[in-house]
Amino acid sequence: MPHIISAVQVTDFSKPPQLAHVALDPPTQDQVQICVRACGLNFADLLMCKGTYQDTPKLPFTLGLEMAGDIVALGKNAPRHLSKGMRVAVFAGQGGLATKANVPAQRCIPLPDALTFENATALQIAYGTSHMALAHKARLQSGERLVVTGAAGGVGLTAVELGKLMGAEVIAVARGASKLAVARSAGADHLIDADDPDLRDKIKALGGADVVYDAVGGTLFEACFRATNPDGRVLLIGFAGGDLPKLKPNHMLVKNISVIGFYWGAYFNFAPDVVTQSLTQIFDWAAQGKITPHISNRLPLEQATDGLSLLSNRTATGKVIITL
């Protein structure tokens, strides 16, 4: 029988999301039901509120892409390694901003005992995106020079931390001294203000970029692209700045530069094992203390819309986590 839960729902793309009491059915045969303990907020949630995200569910739906919690019920087709009471993390694409959620059983990853629900939630999209982009797509090598734009943001900060862990020399690009200080604390070797008119020249003075991790787009992408070394790789992670970058294929050809599009969530559809392996590695690193997610704000479910405002106003550094 369905039971009533609290959830932050989008019912109309022209109206803000609202906390509501809704009915939750038992899990289907391929799902598990979890008691949600933490849910991460992401830029994609803002796009979903407007209906402009590429994977926006049909109305009405509950926000919250990534979450962690305890399994309280299992569908009959759930993998045998999952059991009631098990602590898991899961990227479900929706449903996390609620007291309980039905999620795909195959996406549930058991958590090491040393890993908290909050940290496990903060590690998924942000660290998963950066780890797969840097290791799986760009093949970042120890000793290479990595430029990260939006280096104090939710994903940018993880790229700084993981790039350093993988042995790269990291150049962090962010707006303002306070955000650059956050990037330095994550391990950045060099700091450049995003508003610096000499951004390209300063990157080139440091030796140029072997890999660019760009989550901002627009003119920042263009400056970093021009500072990329021959045979370099430029990762298109997102366009938080609002403007799509202008690609120059002739420059790509002459300098043998690869521009690589990367969307982490799509891998669940065509290569889910790659995601599972990546997240398992990330959780192990975190349990060993090698990486620590930067959580700038922790808010209760009743203040989830305040958390979304922190993202839209760009006042958050690192992750915003909703705790339940």
Delineate the domains of the chain, giving CATH numbers in brackets: 3-125+266-323 (3.90.180.10), 141-262 (3.40.50.720)
Does 154 have pLDDT greater than 80?
no
Q: Could you write out the DSSP letters of every residue in 205-228?
A: HTT-EEEEEESS-HHHHHHHHHTE
pTM: 0.86
What's the token pair of residue 14? 């022209």
Mean pLDDT, rounded, of the chain? 95
For residue 149, what is the DSSP state? E
CA-wise closest residue to 31 among 124, 111, 94, 112: 94
> In this predicted model, what pLDDT tens digit does every residue of 93-112 receive, in sequence order?
999 999 999 999 999 999 99
Residue 243, pLDDT score: 83
From 215, 193, 130, 137, select the one nearest 164 (Cα to Cα).
130
**Which pLDDT score is estimated for 1?**
78
- Residue at token pair 């922190």: 310
Q: Which is more confidently placed, 154 or 173?
A: 173
Taking only the tens place, the pLDDT of each residue in 2-53 is 889 999 999 999 999 999 999 999 999 999 999 999 999 998 999 999 999 9
C-beta of residue 172 within 8 angstroms of C-beta of residue 160? yes
Q: Classify residue 72 by its DSSP letter.
A: E
| The predicted structure's pLDDT at residue 228 | 98
Q: Which two tokens stand for residue 250?
A: 């002739």
The pLDDT, as a whole number, for residue 170 is 98
CB 223 within 8 A of CB 211: no
Which stretches of 6-56 are DSSP H helices? 43-50
Q: What is the mean pLDDT of residues 198-220?
A: 96
Lookup: tokens for 152: 């104090």
